[in-house]
Amino acid sequence: MNNIVYAGKHLITFSTKQHCHSDWELVYCTSGRGQFEFGDRVIKYGVGDIVIIPPQMLHTNVSEEGFTNIHIHIADATFRFKEMLMISDDSDGHIFNAFKDAFYFFNSEISGKSLVVEALGNLIVNYVTAFRNVKPIRGVVDEIKSNIMQNFSDCDYRLDQYLRSVPFSYDYLRKLFKSEVGVTPHDFLTGLRLQMAEKLLCSTENVEQNISEIAFTCGYSDSLYFSRVFKKYFGCSPKHYIAQKRKER
């Protein structure tokens, strides 16, 4: 049961031809992102996601930016489901370590490796079972974005406090968010606030009188701090920015 019969790697790859396997295939994405296509169903994946594919199921793997992965085939897997499935690794990379070890030992010349490979096969299947009903980590990124977008205009909003309440490593969440969104959670928050500030500045008639009000509306209780952040983001003070815009008009 749960015998690993193959362990391989894809270096940077953009697509695979439609194919199937006689055993279960488990694919761990180590970089990039893409999607598996199963006829009329598509599963999108990214770094840290594991796609589990049943035997004899035709599929392709395509990516615009390219992907790398570790893929293993398991015979007689003791899964209690029969459909394709995607799960996500945890913040400590437990499943990744199991895949990495499975690839190493399966392809090594170490005598007695079969016992280790057998143990890793059981471990990986048990990981899939344990993680099957755990919310994908990528869903957590969407939750963080949603929380920031709902609260960015609140001066009392504490992003650090919220991030530390999420049941994952603080540093891991920051790295994951940046890999998915392109900026850190704090930069995403600042961007939302200053984009709103720009719109309000361009719509006000009396900039001198309204800077403090605009700062407060955009989540800044200190108008001087707001001006410093605005200047760093746009390259000039709020007053100078709106003066330039009016001159251009």
Q: What is the pLDDT of residue 249?
A: 65
Residue 108 to residues 21, 31, 112: CA-CA distances in angstroms?
23, 24, 10
Q: Which residues of 87-112 are buried (b: 16+ CB within 10 A; e: fewer)?
A: bbbbbeeebbebbbbbbbbbeeeeee
Same domain, 46 and 130: yes
Q: What is the pLDDT of residue 175?
A: 86
Q: Single out the residue in 134, 149, 170 at which a domain terminates.
A: 134
As a whole number, the mean pLDDT across the chain is 90
Q: How large is the average pLDDT for residues 145-157?
A: 93
**pTM, to two decimals:** 0.59
Same domain, 52 and 159: no
CATH number of the domain at 22, please. 2.60.120.280
Same domain, 170 and 237: yes
pLDDT tens digit string along 71-100? Answer: 999 999 999 889 999 998 886 789 999 999
Residue 229 to residues 38, 40, 222, 225: CA-CA distances in angstroms?
48, 48, 11, 6
Same domain, 155 and 58: no
CATH number of the domain at 161, please. 1.10.10.60
**Residue 47 in this model has a pLDDT that exceeds 90:** no
Q: How large is the average pLDDT for residues 110-136?
A: 90
**Residue 113 in this model has a pLDDT that exceeds 90:** yes
Q: Single out the residue in 99, 134, 169 at which a domain terminates.
A: 134
Q: Single out the residue in 134, 169, 188 at which a domain terminates.
A: 134
Same domain, 170 and 71: no
Q: What is the pLDDT of residue 209?
A: 56
Q: Which of 58-62, 196-200, 204-208 has the lowest mean pLDDT?
A: 204-208
93 three-state secondary structure: coil
Q: How large is the average pLDDT for residues 148-155?
A: 93
User: What does R_g of the chain's alpha carbons equal in angstroms?
Assistant: 25
Boundaries of domain holding 112: 3-134
Same domain, 163 and 230: yes
Q: What is the pLDDT of residue 241?
A: 84
Region of residue 182 (phi > 0: left; psi between -120 and 50: alpha; otherwise: beta):
left
Q: What is the pLDDT of residue 205?
A: 63
Q: What is the pLDDT of residue 122?
A: 97
d(CA 46, CA 48): 6
What pLDDT band is residue 138 in, cutting at 50, 70 and 90?
A: low
E strand or H helix that includes residue 237? none
Same domain, 120 and 199: no
Look at the chain and report how many structural domains it folds into. 2
